[in-house]
Amino acid sequence: MTTKKPIITLENVSIFQQDNLILSEVSLEICSAEFHYLIGTTGSGKSSLLKVLYGELPIIKGTGNIAGIELTKLKRSKIPLLRRKLGVVFQDFQLLFDRNIHDNLNFVLSATGWKNQTEMDHRIKEVLDMVGLNTKSHKMPFELSGGEQQRVAIARALLNKPEVILADEPTGNLDPKTSDDILLLLHKICESGTAVLMATHDYRILEKFPANIIRCEAGKVQNNKLLNEINGTRL
């Protein structure tokens, strides 16, 4: 029997935005091949929690580790190393609109230390195959639909074979059918061994694609709260 490896561990963490306490006493553990939804009202701390995990906000109190990197002792110079171990997907795609899809992904590989262009081209083809866009590498972002642009963003997140994907409202700008396609893709990636933590406010997704639930509420984080316990409340 294979034991799952903890990828994210937070213990009694306090999260601040400048001098404002956003979340306190945050403790959670996410292991490889686990899918967790992160829910809560606007301003409840979802994005702040994700920012701690990808090194945008420091841990002021408590301890944290993600993909083997100690967040409590994270120096600014080490943030690029942390980001190479993570895949981050945002609601607004954040693609470079002055270059095609291949060159968007090539830019990320170059920025994260890849040197051999043959290996880079091979990895770009691999991730585009994974997200079903193997024929679109020559397209400019504006030539793709919103769902296809989000698939490119997911491909970008997969380039460095991350141990965890952090997704901040990745379906927020998409229609229900396209959202479902993106969720199926993320769950498939998770089944291959990558942990996924996805912030969302869409209960329809939670009901259709059940997984672990983490909720930010009243300055605290509640772990693995069952959907039927929270149904009927506003996010």
On the question of pLDDT at 186 being above 60, the answer is: yes
Residue 150: band (very low, low, confident or very high) from pLDDT cuts 50, 70, 90: very high
The model's confidence at residue 128, banded by pLDDT at 50, 70 and 90, is: very high
Digit-coded pLDDT (tens) for 102-127 = 999 999 999 888 999 999 999 999 99
Q: Residue 96 above 80 pLDDT?
A: yes
Q: How many alpha carbons fall within 13 Å on the CB side of residue 233? A: 12
Give pLDDT tens digits for 153-168: 999 999 999 999 999 9
Q: Is 228 helix (H, G, I), strand (E, B) or coil?
A: helix
Find all residues with CB under 8 Å of 121, minimum gap 6, and list them. 102, 106
Query: What is residue 5's predicted lDDT score, i.e. its pLDDT?
Result: 85
CATH code reported for the domain at 6-230: 3.40.50.300
- Confidence at residue 169, expressed as pLDDT on a 0 to 100 scale: 92
Q: Which two tokens stand for residue 167?
A: 């997704």
pLDDT, one tens digit per residue, over 11-20 is: 999 999 988 9
- List, as one string, the DSSP characters of 49-78: HHHHHTTSS--SEEEEEETTEESTT--GGG
**What is the distance between the alpha carbons of residues 133 and 52, in angstroms, rounded to a whole number?**
31
